[in-house]
């Protein structure tokens, strides 16, 4: 601990990073950032941007970058993204910014991304499901997994689905996102022996719209699926990552 | 009209049948029976037995037999059926009684069943969907249609479904009953050019149980389906019959 | 197949159209377009514009035009429509554009529309139901059916309904759209022997608003109806078309 | 007040009746009975039997009889009714007991029923709605109104409804009970200038079953209706009675 | 009828008014206007403006003015109102326009408003309920009733309620509008013998917000109430008018 | 700790009691009993009997008695109670058993009940609310509080409520249980400065039945209330006890 | 009373304040202000600004200031706040304005704030819960309580929660606000003997979003909690204040 | 294939087993049994007994035993179990029958159970969650996994949870079943890096009862969880098995 405090004293470690290492979380202006989550949970804490003000989002990203060398944000709006870009350009201009629909990854130049020897398959039923799948993909990429992404293979035209069967079977774990009636994860899970995580998407309209029919259909599925909340791309990606990490660890 | 009243007077036509012919419905002890519905609507009025007392059910069946020569009852419980059998045995022992799960058809010996030159396909996802499909089948048979019935072809094991594709394509109209996530009508309707009527079944449990997930999934289907209420086998059968009659009429 | 590939090589057939013919769907920038649906299903794939970006909508329309000679879009917003018009004006200025509320039909000059010897009746309860009925009408027109449209005949003033009874009875199949309590399909279906498809409309307010009362009422109807989701004009039109095609085929 | 207490002292007035007159309610073993409600509200307090034990029901009936000379009970089960009959047979054998499905009226021999110069029309859609209408009828009869009851005139066979139009128009106020899609009150209210009170009935099944579709449909009605809760025959009868009393008073 | 047609021929009666008299409704550009409703139902047809375009609203108002000499519109937005004012200023500048929150009454100079010898009490729980009560008041005023309006007497400060008890008791019929928990109609109805119509208001937030708690509470009320849908000020006013008309007729 | 283990060795302390003292909970056959909850939380752990088998209930009661000298059970069915009585009669015949509707208190002869210098007021709207209030009363009595209980003072007859105002104002904290529209806690809380805890009761029927209207109404109340779940008499009693303990402690 | 009227006459007491003292409420332009609530209830009436027009909000604040020397407003929007600031600057420029997210306190210079010898703990799960907690804090501060506020201690990183345990245990009463799954109040209440009031926050998305999962979880909590509606910071603060006042009074 | 048919001919392979091998499913009296699911999916098809008749359950078990040497049934009622025991005793008396609450495993003497080198942790919140966890355990055992089961560690007494942390961390994948507020999976998943599958249990009462609060809470969890439907022990067990198989395969 003395070593760490010395490092704070001479400026090679920021106070936030030191606090994070000592207490497990860092107290910033916009709240406590769970910097130790990556180590404790295997997946980093993501900053859920929806409903937060622009200064809160930027401050939380700052704390994340200071303590872990990277930031992962979800449900980032256009104005939030613009402010974030400005902030990064000013403070750490050599950092990398990756945007996957609403999800944003920022990595400082010193950050060494992890590597994960496993393939996560991601499939979507239609064009409107892609933003949710992008969020899932961002967190899987962040963990270093290999991604095999297949879009627009909904069951209304079943041959589109069946054409991709070999790719589904080769993944270590599958994320399947679908809106409307949400039947794609059921059909896929009936044909592979990979664990499948269903992600209902808030498309649809009328009765069962906003993802409710898809959620209910996945929970009622006659095959074997586990499910995350409507549009919860981050959770699906993080859960798939945990499974992929367990597999990759066993491979070692 | 004079002729009819003369027939009532000499007993060859019952007062109920005469009232039905003159007013379009017959007033019995347990309510008004819509005896003219068959003529006006193409499908006979069915007696919905659930929630009615045994005497009410028997009295309505009596009126139906008197005015139209047959009775079609749905959601008949075991005690209601037993009472009906007893009543028929006593009053018209040569009548035919057909039971299809909860649906019951009674035909007097003089009744000339209609004939309908069209095939109605009926498919179910699993064993628990069969009682609902039986109710649909009863009303289609009552109209004289040819039935092509395929059970237990749910999408969890997709090859079971695909094996029957030719039969689905040969029907003039399809009724597809499925519970749980209710994906079968979507998959079938995506592969045929037959009109498909989806019937959600009140199986399932937890969130979306009691047929709600299946109903929502069918209403949200990315393919083209029309739908009836949960467990509404009678309505599905009657709607399929109306379509089959229109096709058969066009064939003449 | 060689012939087709030769045609691609000399430019008389686009790669997209060739892919569509060989695989059953075409892969464009904005997803897979199910070009074979028309042949497989009897109704063309419609492009559901809601929730898609303008470039996605235009790209999907482009693929549809290239592979099938026409495009049918639903739930098209004003900005999406303007972009589509611009795109058509630039690329295929002699194409025809028809707008029916949110539904849009684009036909190239070489496109030969089908003809369908059957009449589809369309009735609405009130002024607010007309946009949904327009969407249904667009798809029926696209299939070449004759349309008999009657607006504003809700049951609150029953004589408006009864005045149109003969027209309802003359149709081969009826689409009835109604919001609020949604009683019109029930009353109509009780008086005709035509198959009736009910379309609940998302009017209404308070308890049961947004089409829920209308949907529930149609599913509970004491008469024989099949139903589509709230505001699902496209599905109603497509289902009516499938029935009309079956009748027209039988007429031949 | 002295007079009243003297009457209690010499036994010509029961303590419960005295308490009721002085405080407005009587405290019995099973709770406070609102004996003054009749005077204050125009309709007597009914004893809602469902969910109460047999001794509670009997004790409340006892208090009602002691303080007002009659008792009106609703939702009385068979065992509750049997116990009540036994109690009456023992204690006031010359009292009159009237049963209208779940509603029960008990009147002592000295009780002078009120008279009300107004006609309350009561219509039902089908056989299953009759028990709820019976409950409404019981409270209207209790207030001395003339009842014009018409059963089984649901809109699925519209001529049954229209045949009774004159009777509906002659009533001072209408109660219309209907289950399933609950369209009858809407159709009736569109054709008469009588105030109409809709009573949804808990028939139906699947989506919108248990009276929800009927309730929603009546609340959404395009005509003018006021509504009571599902199966609330008592409330409908009492509200109709208050309206009838206002009319009858104006007639004087 | 000849007389009427002559009047059309010489221009003293408009074709729309003639059609309305002959058929019971007038067909305008924006739909059929139920001009005979006033006569058939006792309350005029109101034009529900929400969800209609400005030209539709103006066209319907035009038909109403032509056929009945007045127009009653509900849920009129500011832009709709401005357009209506412009239209009236241009076409019938001497007409009267009354606005009651979203409700608007237009009367031509020749229109002779009815008179109704009865008092309708209107009470609200709080400031946010007033717009809904205004809509009810508009339709009652339109029928010529006397209005006794009391605002802001919610039960959270019970003495505000009790202070007005005499006014509540003097009305012939009461309309009570309340949001949040909607207890005011229950408390009022427990204290008067007037028929009370409860109007739930879409205030409130969280669970039971948007008027659902108020609606449920009024339907569950232990006293005697009938209820209209959330924010249905027009329906409450029209139902109160029908009751008041019955009372006033009896007074004659 | 040695002392405790010695006591276990010589039998003066049971192993369960020792485990409870050392670990904070005792592991019995039917699960872990949170014996330290009383000390940690101020209220004892109650055994929720619903959904547990008879042996599980008895085993948990046994562990509670062994470790704390008393047992508090809620939602005890008749067969569960009978088995409990038999068990107590056999094993600790001198224990006291108190039953308050579904709630049961068992105290060994050595148990010294606590004393709490505070008054908890408990009011109910009607007879059907009493069982829930009994459960609340049981836990308050268990903590030694003084109870002031007033039943059957629902707002339909407001004078019954207002008559008890002084008692409501004298309590340190109030529990108010009401079903149907659940307005009683709102009216009471508007008139006193005591903290009021509302308990919705699962009476009622139709829309908002099963306590939903009451829960929603209490959550939406315009006055100041906190609320527990439907029928959660135990939670209300325990929360009132915690408040009463804080007041009593401050009194010392 | 004469004294008061004299004071009105000579202008030292405003008519509104006099009315408030005599009748318990003051009638302003925008409704009745319950000026006596503070005295009757222990907490002042707050002006719920949402859904009110700017003039209504300003007028109600004016009445509050005139009659009680301060105003407490909740759910104040930015434009409403700006108008209020302008009004105060013009009329009572030396008044103090405190803003706590949507809650606003205005105090005239003569106003003597109360003092309350008790500590109210306020905890939040995350950044998005803070605005709701701010509203609770405003009303507690208004009553003079000491506040111990701890933000951002959600259970996803349990050590953040456990680190604050001593502060939670030292409070006299706790308010715990949490969105998403709302588990924080359960975990806190399981560890302290303080009364805990849970406030569900309308964060979250998909199934159970908008605070429904949090509300349901708090109502189902296995520990002892009472709950207020979603986002009802004011109610939580007021209820905590009533409890704190009871404790402080007992301390005297 | 000839070999197989020869084996059928000489009776060493049953026709059902041959059909299963050739077509992937076997057609029995009670439906098609998906005998190939084990091979295709990694988990065997379970027979969902709820809602099936006793003969259907027995017939499906017979087909399962004939084709795969074992049967796994879920939601088996007592009468279904008794019939199954009788059937086994008669036909294959040396088979093993294991019952885990509603789940039943039958294994013929020749059946060689698989072995799976991975540990599945199973935790429950309370006694009422155990039956659901038993069902999950049955399917995991059936696949040969090692089970580490910890019961009754709900978060109301947090130390019970934290005491088991090491065991949770040592599992390869965790199943956590909890009813009421369902917070246990959230707390566990926040502390481990194992994939956690949450199983909501249908305990609880009132708002959010029947597992809805638990389901919503798990879907809203701030940590990383995937979820199955309420009481879906089988699905949780099968999904955990698929994950464990992937890990075990990687270990090889």
- pLDDT for residue E35: 63
Q: Which pLDDT band holds residue F146 (cuts at 50, 70, 90)?
A: very high
Question: Across all residues in chain A, what is the average pLDDT?
Answer: 89
pLDDT score for D250: 93
| Number of other CB atoms surrounding residue B14 within 10 Å | 16
Confidence tier at E16 by pLDDT (50, 70, 90): low
Q: In this predicted structure, which of C195-199, G48-52, H136-140, H196-200 has the lowest mean pLDDT?
A: G48-52
> Across the interface, do F56 and H159 touch by the CB < 8 Å criterion?
no
- The answer to whether B and F touch (≥3 CB pairs < 8 Å) is no
Cα–Cα distance between D134 and D201 in angstroms, integer?
12
Which candidate from G159, G160, G205 shows the least CB-CB separation from A229?
G205
Cβ pair C23:A159 closer than 8 A: yes
pLDDT of G153 higher than 70: yes
In this structure, are residues B180 and B204 in contact, taking their beta carbons and an 8 Å threshold? yes
* Per-residue pLDDT at D217: 97
- For the residues of D95-113, what is the DSSP string, one character each? -EEEEETTEEEEE-TT---
Nearest CA in chain B to A162: B158
Crossing angle of the two packed helices B2-9 and B15-23, in degrees rounded to 10: 160
* Residue-level pLDDT at F1: 64
Contact list in F for residue G116 (CB cut-off 8 A) is: none
E126 neighbourhood in chain F, CB within 8 Å: 222
Locate the chain F residue with the closest alpha carbon to D37: F157
- Nearest-by-Cβ selection for H222 from G181, G218, G220: G181
CA-based torsion, C76, C77, C82, C83: positive or negative: negative
Q: How far apart are CA F215 and CA D221, in angstroms?
A: 28
CB atoms G192 and F226 under 8 Å: no
Q: Residue F36: its pLDDT value, please?
A: 63
| pLDDT at res. B158 | 87
| Residue C7 exposed, middle or buried by CB count within 10 Å (0-12, 13-18, 19+) | middle
Phi, psi of G197 (to 5 degrees): -110, 120
What are the sequence ranges of the domains in chain E? Answer: 11-107, 119-251
C194: left (phi over 0), alpha (psi -120 to 50) or beta: beta
Q: What are the respective helix, strand and coil percentages of chain D, to the nearest 5?
A: 45, 20, 35
* CA distances from residue G201 to A53, C210, G186, H150 in whole angstroms, order as listed: 17, 26, 14, 32
Size of interface A-H (CB pairs under 8 A): 101
Burial of B94 (0-12, 13-18, 19+ CB in 10 A): exposed
Task: Write out the residues of chain D at the interface with chain C, using a CB-CB cutoff of 8 A.
Answer: 125-126, 154-158, 180-183, 186-187, 190-191, 204, 206-209, 212-223
User: What is the pLDDT averaged over residues E19-39?
Assistant: 64
pLDDT above 70 for C71: yes
From the list D37, D56, D200, the residue facing F127 with the nearest CB is D56
List residues in chain B touching A: CB distance below 8 A.
125-126, 154-158, 180-183, 186-187, 190-191, 204, 206-209, 212-223
What is the CATH architecture assignment of C119-251? 3-Layer(aba) Sandwich (3.40)
Write the CB contacts of B190 (distance below 8 Å, at least 6 apart in sequence). A155, A156, A157, A158, B222, B223, C41
Q: Which residue of F has its CA nearest to D216?
A: F207
Please check the confidence at residue A238 and state whether its pLDDT lies above 70.
yes
Nearest CA in chain B to D151: B31
Pairing between β-strand B119-124 and β-strand B173-178 as defined by DSSP bridges: parallel
Nearest chain A residue to B203, by CA: A220
In angstroms, the CA G39 to CA D103 distance is 47
**For residue D12, what pLDDT is reported?**
73
Chain C positions in Cβ-Cβ contact with residue D192 (cut-off 8 Å): none
CA proximity to A180, closest of A159, A143, A205, A146: A205
Contact: B31, D151; criterion CB under 8 Å: yes
Question: SS3 helix, strand, coil % of chain H, rounded to 5?
Answer: 45, 20, 35
* Interface test mutation site (partner F, options H156, H206, H209, H231, max chain F beta carbons within 10 A): H206
CA F96 to chain centroid, in Å, comes to 17
Buried b (16+ CB within 10 A) or exposed e, B99-122: bbbbbbbbbbeeeeeeebbbbbbb
Which residue of chain E comes nearest to G35, CA vs CA?
E157
- Nearest by CB to residue E226, choosing from D220, D239, D247, is D239
How many contacts, defined by CB atoms under 8 Å, are there between C and D?
113
Helical ranges in chain H per DSSP H = 2-9, 15-23, 37-41, 54-68, 78-91, 130-142, 158-162, 165-170, 184-189, 212-219, 233-251
> How many Å lie between the alpha carbon of F196 and the closest alpha carbon of chain H?
20
G150 within 8 A of G167, measured Cβ to Cβ: yes
A-contacting chains (≥3 CB pairs under 8 Å): B, C, G, H
pLDDT at B62: 93
Integer Cα distance of A55 and C231 in angstroms = 41
CB pair distance less than 8 Å for D205 and B50? yes
Using CA atoms of E217, E222, E224, E226 in order, give the dihedral in degrees to the nearest 10.
Answer: 20
List, for chain H, all residue ranges whose pLDDT scores fall below the cut of 70: 1-2, 4-5, 15-42
Question: What rounded mean pLDDT belongs to chain G?
Answer: 89
List subunits contacting chain C, requiring 3 or more Cβ pairs under 8 Å: A, B, D, E
- Does position E219 have pLDDT exceeding 90, yes or no? yes
What is the biggest distance separating any 2 CA atoms in chain A, rounded to whole angstroms? 64
Tokens of H67: 């084709």
User: G156 falls in which pLDDT band (50, 70, 90)?
Assistant: confident
Q: Comparing B76 with A37, which gets the higher pLDDT?
A: B76
What residues pair up with C177 in beta bridges, in sequence order?
C124, C199
- State phi, psi for G7 to the nearest 5 degrees: -65, -40
From the list E52, E56, E229, the residue facing C205 with the nearest CB is E229
| Residue A226, strand partner residues | A197
* CB-CB under 8 Å, H36 with B206: no
**Which of F31, F182, F212 would you mutate first to test chain H, the one with the most H CBs within 10 A?**
F31
Q: Average of pLDDT values for G185-200?
A: 95
Residue of chain G whose Cα is closest to the Cα of F45: G223
Smallest Cα distance from G181 to chain F, Å:
17
G8-23 pLDDT tens trace: 777 777 766 666 666 6
Query: In F, which residues are within 8 Å of E221 by CB distance?
Result: 156, 180-181
pLDDT of the residue at F38: 64
Nearest to F155 among E186, E204, E207 (CB): E186
Question: Across the interface, do A36 and G157 touch by the CB < 8 Å criterion?
Answer: yes
The rounded distance, in Å, linking the Cα atoms of G134 and G177 is 10
Q: What is the mean pLDDT of chain F?
A: 89
Q: What's the pLDDT score for residue E235?
A: 97
Interface test with C, best of E32, E36, E57, E219 (most C CBs within 10 A): E32
| H interface test, pick of F51, F75, F135, F234 with most H CB neighbours within 10 Å | F51
pLDDT one-digit tens code per residue, C104-114: 999 999 999 89
Contact A205 C24 (CB under 8 A): no
> Greater confidence, H234 or B127?
H234
* Those residues with Cβ within 8 angstroms of residue C35's Cβ, 6 or more apart along the chain or in another chain: C16, C17, C20, C21, C24, C25, C26, C45, C63, C64, C67, C68
Q: How confident is the model at residue B39 (pLDDT cuts 50, 70, 90)?
A: low
pLDDT tens, position by position, C121-131:
999 999 899 99
Identify the band that residue C252 occupies on the pLDDT scale cut at 50, 70 and 90.
Answer: confident
Burial of A78 (C-beta count, 10 Å sphere; 0-12/13-18/19+): exposed
Task: Please provide the average confidence, as pLDDT, over all residues in chain C.
Answer: 89
Instruction: Name the percent of chain B lying above pLDDT 70.
Output: 87
F150, F208, F156: which is closest to F187 by C-alpha?
A: F156
Concatenating the DSSP letter of every residue in B144-163 gives T-EEEEE----GGGHHHHHT
pLDDT tens profile A27-40: 666 666 666 666 56
Task: Rounding to the nearest 10 degrees, give the CA dihedral for residues D160, D162, D165, D168.
Answer: 60
Work out the percent of chain D whose per-residue pLDDT is above 70: 87
Nearest to F229 among G172, G195, G219 (CB): G219
Residue H157's pLDDT is 80
What is the 8-class DSSP label of residue G229? -
How far apart are alpha carbons G15 and G26 in whole angstroms?
A: 9
From chain E, the residues in CB contact with G202 under 8 A are 206
The pLDDT of residue B31: 66
Structure-token match 């009815």, residue found: E114
Taking the C-alpha atoms of residue B244 and residue B250, their distance in angstroms, rounded to an integer, is: 10
With beta carbons under 8 A apart, name residues in chain E contacting F186: 155-156, 181, 183
pLDDT in tens, A112-164: 989 999 999 999 999 889 999 999 999 999 999 999 999 999 998 888 888 89
pLDDT tens digits, residue range E113-171?
Answer: 899 999 999 999 998 899 999 999 999 999 999 999 999 999 988 888 888 989 999 99
* Arithmetic mean of pLDDT, F188-211: 94
CA distance F36 to F24: 5
Which chain G residues touch A229 with a CB distance below 8 Å?
Answer: 205-208
Give yes or no for residue D101 having a pLDDT over 90: yes
Q: Measuring CA to CA, which residue among F187, G251, B198 is closest to residue C219?
A: B198
Give me chain D's average pLDDT, please: 89
Q: Which of E190, E207, E215 sits opposite F219 (nearest CB)?
A: E207
Q: Which of A101, A95, A103, A30 is nearest to A68 (CA)?
A: A95
pLDDT tens figures, B183-227: 999 999 999 989 999 999 998 899 999 999 999 999 999 999 999
For F192-196, what is the mean pLDDT?
94
For F47-61, write each residue's pLDDT tens digit. 999 989 999 999 999
- Nearest-CA residue of chain G relative to F235? G224
The pTM (predicted TM-score) of the whole model is: 0.91
């Amino acid at each position: 601990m003395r070593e760490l405090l010395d490092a704070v004293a001479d400026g090679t470690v920021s106070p936030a990073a030191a606090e994070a290492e000592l207490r497990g979380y860092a107290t910033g202006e916009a709240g406590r950032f769970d910097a130790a989550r990556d180590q404790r949970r295997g997946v980093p804490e993501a900053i859920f941007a929806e409903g937060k003000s622009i200064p809160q989002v930027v401050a939380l990203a700052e704390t994340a970058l200071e303590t872990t060398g990277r930031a992962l944000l979800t449900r980032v709006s256009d104005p939030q993204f613009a402010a974030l870009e400005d902030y990064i350009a000013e403070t750490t201009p050599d950092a990398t910014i990756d945007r996957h629909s609403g999800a944003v990854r920022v990595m400082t130049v010193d950050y060494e991304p992890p590597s994960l020897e496993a393939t996560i398959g991601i499939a979507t039923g239609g064009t409107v499901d892609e933003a949710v799948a992008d969020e899932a993909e961002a967190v899987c990429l962040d963990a270093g997994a290999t991604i095999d992404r297949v879009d627009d293979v909904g069951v209304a035209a079943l041959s589109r689905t069946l054409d991709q069967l070999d790719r589904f079977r080769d993944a270590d774990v599958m994320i399947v996102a679908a809106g409307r009636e949400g039947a794609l994860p059921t059909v896929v899970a009936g044909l592979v022996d990979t664990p499948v995580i269903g992600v209902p998407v808030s498309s649809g309209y009328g009765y069962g719209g906003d993802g409710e029919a898809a959620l209910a259909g996945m929970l009622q599925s006659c095959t074997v699926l586990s499910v995350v909340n409507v549009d919860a791309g981050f959770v699906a990606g993080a859960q798939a990552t945990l499974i992929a990490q367990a597999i990759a660890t066993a491979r070692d």
